[in-house]
Amino acid sequence: MNKLHHVLITAALASGAVGATAQTMKPGLWEINNKMTSSSGEMEKAMAEAQKQLASMPPDQRKMMEDMMAKQGVGMGKGAGSTAVKVCMTKEMVERNEVATQQGDCKHTTSPRTGNTMKFSFVCTRPPSNGEGQVTFVSPEAYAMKMTLNTTANGKPEKMNMDATGKFLSAECGAIKPMAMPKK
């Protein structure tokens, strides 16, 4: 189960990394669907194994695990390397036009929007990683993102690519709590 936890946390961090970047995004509950690939293929293997382990659990145990993940806003996506994450974006988060993160110590740089596109980069010390990406805003209720992430996995350099789409679900976040805002 540790592999499942590690992969889901990595995916959740990556997908939440751009949640608050749009000046015109609606505050509220968003669903972010991610498809991640890694240079070594290890992340995809770990995600496939986690999905296999979840599927092979007795129904009551699987439901308990799915419920626990759902409370964090995380669900398994379709296919290896895919996740669906629900993120609560407050009005302040949207107005600050800054990147939100769940954990770690990261510094973010966001370029001014050009048309419907914004570029960003980040460097984190916990976990040690860096990356860059681009967000294309489709509307105040939808965006698409491409991102690269450089990190270390099992003591070896690892490059991950992520394609994500964000979709506004509701003005109310329900049980999903807002992510912590970065320090100024």
**Residue-range definition of the domain harbouring residue 53:** 2-170
Return the CATH number at 161. Answer: 2.40.128
Task: Say if 154 falls within a structural domain.
Answer: yes
Task: Say if 71 falls within a structural domain.
Answer: yes
Residue 32, pLDDT score: 87
pLDDT tens series, the chain, 184 aa: 443 334 444 444 444 444 444 447 899 999 888 888 888 887 777 777 877 887 888 888 878 877 777 666 666 666 656 788 888 888 888 777 554 444 557 787 888 888 888 898 888 887 788 999 998 888 999 999 999 999 887 788 889 899 999 999 999 998 888 876 655 4
**Does the model's pTM come out above 0.85?**
no
Of 99, 96, 136, the C-alpha closest to 17 is 99
Give the CA distances from residue 181 to residues 8, 93, 98, 101, 106, in Å, rounded to whole numbers and listed in that order: 20, 7, 8, 7, 11
- What is the SS3 string spanning 151-184? EEECCEEEEEEEEEEEEEEECCCCCCCECCCCCC
Task: Say if 99 falls within a structural domain.
Answer: yes
Task: Say if 175 falls within a structural domain.
Answer: no
Task: Say if 83 falls within a structural domain.
Answer: yes
Task: Say if 184 falls within a structural domain.
Answer: no
**Two tokens, residue 177:** 């709590």
Residue type, 31: E
Structural domains of the chain, count? 1
Residue 62, pLDDT score: 79
Task: Say if 152 falls within a structural domain.
Answer: yes
- What is the SS3 string spanning the chain? CHHHHHHHHHHHHHHHCCCCCCCCCCCEEEEEEEEEEECCCHHHHHHHHHHHHHHHCCHHHHHHHHHHHHHCCEEECCCCCEEEEEEEECHHHHHHCCCCCCCCCEEEEECCCECCEEEEEEEEECCEEEEEEEEEEEECCEEEEEEEEEEEECCEEEEEEEEEEEEEEECCCCCCCECCCCCC
Task: Say if 35 falls within a structural domain.
Answer: yes
